[in-house]
A and B are shown apart, each in its own frame.
Chain A
């Protein structure tokens, strides 16, 4: 197969422009989140500043000691106070080295907890009809890995960003009175570093998007080919595909290297300036010491002054270098916040509705009043008028796609009608109210990690053991499992019919007024079907029961039949 890889420049340009605006939104959001952890970030920054002060002290002491030994020829014993001073500076710096990441961590931790909570709340607000459209794996990655990816922005990048604004100024202020020429060397090279890094950074942003694009293309391509590998093998072209995989991987390498090229160039610029500055300082003070520099304070410079500024020179550039390292954390956080924001920004489809009683003479339990439901593309329900009385047993039938599921979702409050009203006991439906009044069992009931007992007591966690046992027994669960039997992910180990029983026991224990069952007999053979229907009849004999079904066996057993076709009720 001769598959080309599309990576045209114009496609990239469009992608950039769209992304630039998006990146700004993400950056603003990240900043706004930072307010929540201001204290920890400030603490970490303070530690960084203290550490900077200690660096100055350490350089001064070191310079003094060397001067004392080499020039003043003092004995080592007489220098003991200096050594003790140095030792205490070292210990204090050790404490800074320890506490800087510890405070930073708290900032990152608190943010992660907070955003996880925001997401969990948002999921509920969006409701099942929206959540179902996502892949559960993708959402799980969002709440775990993507949220974790934010950590270093808050724990490392933010404190470092503040340090870059503060420490170099402190260094310049300290150096100025000692040697103003060196101070000016710092003053000139510092901003230059920033300007050049920003210039290169702009190029880096576009190159890194290029790489990002290449990476998502590569992942997409690999997934495509891995999923279709059986097909490729069937047609005998799997080995030929290797060539394309190779090309893809090589293309990704080139794009990655292009990004790194720029990143390395930017750190090379940094290194270059810092090296030039250090060399300038060294040569300036060195010549001054030799008496060959008839300019500025170097004319009368001492060794201790010379060593002090020389030791400080590389330290002056340290915050810049560290920020360059942490810049990557920012890019990672921006990427992650894009995905997180995509969920947090979603407008909930469920509007808050006042639950005030709706004036109606009709005293039916459930009323659909001229209900329409449209999605962007198509109309699913048209002018539905229905009423269901307390205690009625209703079969809801219709082809798949006729609107049964939407109708049930409206009743459960998972979705809201485009027009018209759905009333439950005379009140307009909302999710909280309806989930209390209705027990719903879906086509494939969800079973969670844990025991049968926990699964039955899903809606009633405080139910007594007797109540749970009674429900299990009534639904026939006790015939195949004990209450403490552990069931795995998606009910692994239980058959379809058995899963249905557990779900029925769950609904029975919930003891709601209305029971809705969605295709309870799908995937069951005749014998099991009849058995199950008997159980259902027994369990819910005094409830209002609505069953969505195709099955004539089920329809026969109901009092009433509502048929949906093309979004309309046919009686």
Chain B
């Protein structure tokens, strides 16, 4: 419930929309109830008036007015329902669009340090399907419950003016059907619902496990066994769902029965009141039809309460991300960026968590501006972590990283980022044109500057071979770009950004020998006066370097 409340606060800017939705929805529900009530009364009154007329007395019954009212109510109900749906959904989707950008905004400070362990697919599903699931919060939960409460009170008050007994019994039964039964069955079904979530998660893990080890399973003739095991799992899942489905079926049968009990009681009471002359004939029909109609108010409630668990889950998954502390803190008062960029690491130790082993152990390293340093080591030796500390993705547990004799912690991160140009084996290309991909590095770049960058990165031939040239759409759903070309685009970005410190993380990994040579040639021209920190696990491109270090198990030593 607390999670639901948390998100309701985000709905606030849209409260006018939300209120209008509830109001329309209430109007529509009441119109439907009045329509049936009035029709019942009208028919009975007509019947009695008709009998009187046959008796020969003058016909005093004005049938035009109720007939017109019935027509008006029918139209109100139809139009009202349509308008209500439009408004409530419009309101909801406005809120969801807002929550989506709010979510994205909150992930910005968390990357890359804090979210390194969460896969992008998982993050995406939180940003799409989990946020989508929040639509139930207003549409299925808040709006129907508000309408049911207000509508229930209005109907009970209305019935009380005719027959207090019927009003009270109907009110009590409404409460039981609308609140007690959904609540009880939600409690009963809770365990099963949780079991299903757990079973589903486990099924998925095992299924992924099976696919990832598919070749091994087939080669070891073990696939059939694993597949049979998965089927058993699926059977257990379905069995639990069957039990839950049964509970839901019982709950809707009970709700239905309660509504009929209320109807039957109303009928009996109305009969007695009629014989005691406390109700006229048409009023009997009015009361009975009104009771019949009110149960439409509570029919959406069992489903609403069932939604709560799922809603809770999604809400939690969104909150988990949004409420993460960033791995680094911004300084209270940021120091301005220096004019020179000497880096000093003094006695740095780092581990990702208290439970894990030290990744970096007592590292001392000075990189003066303009020097070129290579760190050689196997994957897993800790060299990438060292880079992350240099760029302050994380803070070291012990020791300090300094830029121009000032702790990294004293610079604003956004400022600090302008000091680094990164070229790595995972050069991220965005689904956009080549030009837009380059402009990320320097939004104000002129055509001349862009051309220069393309030339320097050796992209000229590739770009001019494309029919749309620099405006060619690349990335997903665009032109396929080879690994070498992607790396060159990243290189052109590096050129445009023109940062004083270049971070090269296995810059030529996965490229063929020719491309590798060209990349290094391009780099050596453009990076002449820049600081370079290069990671590699092979002995390539070391000729450019002033100092070469090796990294092994978190310990750095000079070669």
Contact = CB atoms under 8 A, between A and B. Distances in A.
A292 B521 CA distance: 101
B439 interface: yes
Contact of B77 (A139, A232, A271): A271
B256 A94 contact: yes
Contacts of B213: 446-448
Interface stretch (B5-13, B155-163, B203-211, B523-531): B203-211
A250 interface: yes
B383 interface: no
A275 B36 CA distance: 11
Nearest to B116: A230
Contact of A249 (B100, B230, B261): B100
Interface in A254-283: 256-257, 260-261, 264-265, 267-268, 271-272, 275-276, 278-279, 282-283
A264 B105 CA distance: 33
Contacts of B85: 260, 264, 267
B465 interface: no
B231 A116 contact: yes
A276 B75 CA distance: 8
A440 B219 contact: yes
Contact of B220 (A6, A264, A459): A459
Contact of B257 (A94, A268, A431): A94
A444 to B, nearest CB: 10
Given A225-B430, A289-B43, 18 more contacts: A1-B440, A70-B44, A98-B252, A117-B231, A226-B127, A229-B111, A235-B440, A235-B493, A240-B443, A257-B90, A267-B81, A275-B75, A282-B70, A283-B67, A442-B219, A446-B215, A459-B221, A461-B225
13 contacts: A3-B431, A62-B267, A94-B253, A98-B249, A225-B104, A234-B422, A252-B97, A267-B81, A275-B77, A289-B50, A291-B54, A442-B216, A448-B213
A302 B50 CA distance: 10
List the 5 closest A-B pairs by CB distance, nearest first: A446-B213, A136-B211, A459-B220, A70-B281, A275-B74
Contacts of B254: 94
| Chain A interface extent, by class | 35 or more
Contacts of A62: 267, 288
A438 B219 contact: yes
| Chain B interface extent, by class | 35 or more
B208 A264 contact: no
Given A249-B100, A279-B74, A102 B249 contact: yes
A505 to B, nearest CB: 12
B50 A120 contact: no
Contacts of A113: 231, 234-235, 238
Interface of B: 35-36, 39-40, 42-44, 46-51, 53-54, 59, 61, 63, 66-67, 70-71, 74-75, 77-79, 81-82, 85-86, 89-90, 93-94, 96-98, 100-101, 104-105, 107-108, 111-112, 120-121, 123-124, 127-128, 200, 203-209, 211-225, 227, 230-231, 234-235, 238, 241-242, 245-246, 248-250, 252-254, 256-257, 260-261, 264, 267-268, 270-272, 274-275, 281-282, 284-285, 288, 378-379, 414, 417-418, 420, 422, 428, 430-432, 436, 439-441, 443, 473, 475-477, 493, 497
Nearest to B131: A249
Contacts of A282: 39, 42-43, 67, 70
B268 A76 contact: yes
A123 interface: yes
A479 interface: no
Contact of A69 (B101, B242, B250, B271): B271
Interface of A: 1-3, 6, 62, 65-66, 69-71, 73, 75-76, 79, 83, 86-87, 90-91, 93-95, 97-102, 105, 109, 112-113, 116-117, 120-121, 123-124, 127-128, 131-132, 134, 136-137, 139-141, 143-144, 218-242, 245-246, 249-250, 252-253, 256-257, 260-261, 264-265, 267-268, 271-272, 275-276, 278-279, 282-283, 285-287, 289-292, 302-303, 306-307, 310, 314, 412, 414, 431, 435-436, 438-440, 442, 445-449, 458-459, 461, 489-490, 506, 510, 523, 525
B234 A220 contact: no
Contacts, number: 356
> Which of B214, B270, B439, B477 has the largest number of chain A CB atoms within 10 A?
B214
B275 A219 contact: no
B108 A229 contact: yes
A226 B123 contact: yes
Given A76-B275, A231-B428, A459 B256 contact: no
Nearest to A409: B215
Contact of A261 (B74, B86, B214, B260): B86
A131 B74 contact: no
Given A69-B270, A144-B203, A221-B431, A446 B47 contact: no
Contacts of A139: 207, 211
Contact of A98 (B63, B74, B253, B414): B253
A109 B235 CA distance: 9
Nearest to B72: A279
Contacts of B93: 253, 256-257
Given A86-B264, A286-B63, A71 B51 contact: yes
A236 B417 contact: yes
B417 to A, nearest CB: 5
B71 A279 contact: yes
Contacts of A440: 216, 219
Nearest to B211: A136
B124 A222 contact: yes
Contacts of A95: 253
Contacts of B288: 62, 66
